[in-house]
Structure 1
Amino acid sequence: MKTLKLFLSLFLVSTLATMSAQNNVTIKTTKLSDNVYMLVGQGGNIGVSVGDDGMFVIDDQFAQLTPKILDAIKALSDKPIQFVVNTHFHGDHTGGNANMKKAGAKIIAHDNVYKRLLEGNKTDGLPVITFNDKLSVYINGEQVLVFHVDNAHTDGDAMLYFTKSNVLHTGDNYFHKRYPYIDVNSGGSIDGYIDAVKMALMVIDENTKIIPGHGELSNKAEYASFLEMLTKLRANVQAEIDKGKTENDVVANTAITKEYDDLNYSWNFITSEKIRRAIYISLSTMD
C-alpha cells in the first residue's frame, strides 16, 4: 500500500509539473514563404500552409496546447483547418489529433501511424486518410509532396515538401544540432534514418528552408552536416561491434561520440550514452 501511495504521489507530481510547463508555453510563429509558416511550442515543430483553400497543418503537439496552437493559426487566417498531417505517431506530434478533428480537420498519416495509434488506444485521434508510399496534396496554390521513409525514426515516418514554397518538413528525421531519437522499439533504425536523410537531400536545394522535428529552422548545408554525423557515429559503433565489443562496452565508450559531444549534441532526452546504445541495438538486430 505504501508503494502504491508513493507511486501515485510521484505520478501526480510529474503530471502537475508537465501541465505547469505546458501552461507556460508560448507558440512562436515564423514566416517561411508567402503562405508557409513554422510554429514552435513544446513538442514537434509544426508546419502551416495558409491560403484560400484553408489551413494545412503538419503535426499538432500535445492536447493541452491545442487552444494556444489554434490561436496562433487563427492569427494567420480565419480559414478553417482542412487537413492535419502526422509525421509519425509519437504523442508530441499527434497529441492534439482529437482536438483538431473536433475543430473540423481531417487527419492524414502513414498506414503504420494508424496502426500504432490504434494499438495505443488513441482511437479518438485516428487518421481518416492513410497512405503507404507517397501522397500529393494540392492546396493553397502548390503541390505538397508527402512521402514515407522506411524504418527511420519509426516505421511510419513521413516527410513533406512544399514544391513552390521550397520548404521541407522532416518530422523527427532531423533533430537540429542534437542527437536524434531512433525509436528501435517502433521500427526505427540507424540505416533507415541515414537513408531517409539522403532521400530528402536529393529533393531539396541550397535555398530550401527546413523545418526539423525539433530545433531551429535549418537548411540543406546543416542537414548534410547532420547526415555526416550519423554516418560517422554508425561507422564508429560498427567498428566496435567488429571487435566483438558488447552493448555495455559501446555505451561506456565516450570516444565514439566525443566529436559531437564536444559540440553539445547530447541533450536531456537523447544523451550520448543513449545514441550509442540505440545505434548498437539497431546494428546488432539487422538481418
Structure 2
Amino acid sequence: MAHTRRDFLATSAAMTLGALLGRPLHALASQTAQPAQAAFTPVRRNVGTFTMRGGTVGWLVNARGVAVVDTQFPAEARALLAGLQERSRNRGVDVLINTHHHGDHTGGNGVFRGVARRVVAHGMADQHMRRAPQPPQQAQPAQQPPAQQPSPQPQQPQPAPPEPLYPDTTFTHSWSTEVGDERIVARHHGRAHTSGDAVITFERANVVHMGDLAFHRRHPVVDRAAGASMRNWARVLEQVVNAHAPDTIYIFGHAGQGLPVTGSSAELLQFRDYLAAVLAFVEQHVAAGRSRDEILAMRAPLAGFEAWGPFGQVGPRDAVSVAYEEVTTGA
C-alpha cells in the first residue's frame, strides 16, 4: 500500500532526563503518561497490554501457553507476573521477548528468572543489555524545607533488585515460535530507535508490538549512541505498515499523557511523518547556516502539530539534536 508524506513539524522536548542502565531514561518521563496502578487491558484474541510505569508490555495468555513482551521495572514486573499467573492459573511463561535493551523495557527481566523458559531478543539488543551498568537504587524525592518537613515515617524495607536476566536466544533477521494456538514472529528491520529493535507480531491475533519504534504523539528518545538512525526509522515504520493488514492493531512503546497505547497504521504513519519532518526542518536550517543551538532555540510548534508541544534543548537523545548530527555528519 502506498502512503504520502506530510510536511510536519520538528520538535523535541519532554524526554530529556539522563540515562538508566546506561540508556535513555524513559522511566521518569513515563510516570506522567501512564497510570500508577497496574492495568491489564485485552486487545484481541488472548493478546493484551500491561501498563504501570515504563514501556508498554504486551502479553498473551491462552489455554496452552503464556508469552510476555518486555517487563518494565522490578516492582512493576512483579505486578505483571502476578496478574499473568492469575490469568493463566499459575502457568509458567513460555517465552519472554524484549523489543530492545532500554531499562524501562528490560529492568524487570530478573523477576522472570526461573519462570520464563526462554528469553529472546535481537542480537544487538542482547549486546547492549550486557554492556550496560547495573541499575542504581531508585532516586528518593527531594526533601522539603525544614519548616515543612512531615514527621519522620518508618522506612519500609525495599526488596533487593533481582539479578539481570539476559536473552538465551538471539536472532539477526527474524525468529518465530508457536505458543498454544498463536504464532509469534519477531523481526528486525534495521537501525531505528536503536540498532537492536524488534517488531513482535502475534499473527493470528493480528496484533503487533512495536516497542519504542512507536511513540504516539510524544517526543521520542533517539538513542544514537546505541546505533539509532532517524532516517531509517521512518523507513522502518513504512515497512512495518506495508507488511501487515489494514486492520492490524499496533501496541506503542509510549504514548502522550491521556492517549491510548494501541492504535492503527495511521498513528505509525503520523509518527513516520514526524521523523521525516524533523529531518527536513533541520536540513533547511543547516543549509541556512544555523547552528544546533540556534535551531533548538526555535521553540514554537509548527502548525498542525500543537499537540506535540514546543521543542528545545532537552538532551543528546532528543530528535532535533540527533537530526542535527545525522544531517551534518551524513550518517
Q: Please indicate the TM-score interval, normalised by the length of the shorter structure.
A: 0.7 to 0.9
Structure 1 residue 144: deviation in Å? 1.6
Q: Relative CO higher for 1 or 2, CA cutoff 8 Å, sep ≥ 6?
A: 2
Extract unaligned runs of 5+ from structure 2.
1-27, 135-162, 256-260
Alpha-carbon distance in 1 for matches of 2:167, 2:272? 31
Task: Tell me whether 1:252 sits opposite 2:297 in the alignment.
Answer: yes
Give the 3 Å change call, closer, same or farther, for CA 240–114 of structure 1 in structure 2.
Answer: same
Structure 1 residue 168: deviation in Å? 0.9
The one-letter amino acid paired with 1:278 is V
Structure 1 residue 269: deviation in Å? 11
Equivalent residue number for residue 33 of structure 1: 44
Task: Tell me whether 1:239 sits opposite 2:284 in the alignment.
Answer: yes
Give the 3 Å change call, closer, same or farther, for CA 116–193 of structure 1 in structure 2.
Answer: same
Deviation string 1:114-134 (CA, Å, 9 cap, x unpaired) is: 111111256731100001111
Alpha-carbon distance in 1 for matches of 2:236, 2:103? 21
Identity of aligned residues (%): 25
Structure 1 residue 142: deviation in Å? 2.7
Provide the alpha-carbon RMSD of the alignment. Answer: 2.7
Equivalent residue number for residue 66 of structure 1: 77
**121-130 or 164-173, which moves further after superposition?**
121-130
Task: Tell me whether 1:222 sits opposite 2:267 in the alignment.
Answer: yes
1:43-54 counterparts in 2 under 5 A? 43-54=54-65
The one-letter amino acid paired with 2:83 is A
The one-letter amino acid paired with 1:112 is M
Alpha-carbon distance in 2 for matches of 1:196, 1:165? 22
**189-198 or 259-268, which moves further after superposition?**
259-268
1:1-287 counterparts in 2 under 5 A? 25-78=36-89, 79-121=91-133, 124-215=164-255, 216-254=261-299, 257-259=301-303, 262-265=306-309, 274-287=318-331
Report which of the two has the higher share of helix.
1
TM-score w.r.t. length of structure 1: 0.84
Extract unaligned runs of 5+ from structure 1.
1-16
Partner of 1:29, secondary structure, is strand
Partner of 1:116, secondary structure, is helix
Give aligned pairs, total. 266
Alpha-carbon distance in 1 for matches of 2:330, 2:68? 35
Give the 3 Å change call, closer, same or farther, for CA 270–226 of structure 1 in structure 2.
Answer: farther
Checking the alignment, whether the CA contact within 8 Å between 2:292 and 2:321 is kept in structure 1 is yes
Checking the alignment, whether the CA contact within 8 Å between 1:101 and 1:107 is kept in structure 2 is no
Structure 1 residue 270: deviation in Å? 6.7
Deviation string 1:124-176 (CA, Å, 9 cap, x unpaired) is: 31100001111112222132221012110011100111111110110101111
TM-score w.r.t. length of structure 2: 0.73
Checking the alignment, whether the CA contact within 8 Å between 2:219 and 2:318 is kept in structure 1 is no
The one-letter amino acid paired with 1:43 is G
Alpha-carbon distance in 2 for matches of 1:120, 1:105? 23
Give the 3 Å change call, closer, same or farther, for CA 163–267 of structure 1 in structure 2.
Answer: farther
Alpha-carbon distance in 1 for matches of 2:227, 2:198? 14
Structure 1 residue 248: deviation in Å? 1.4
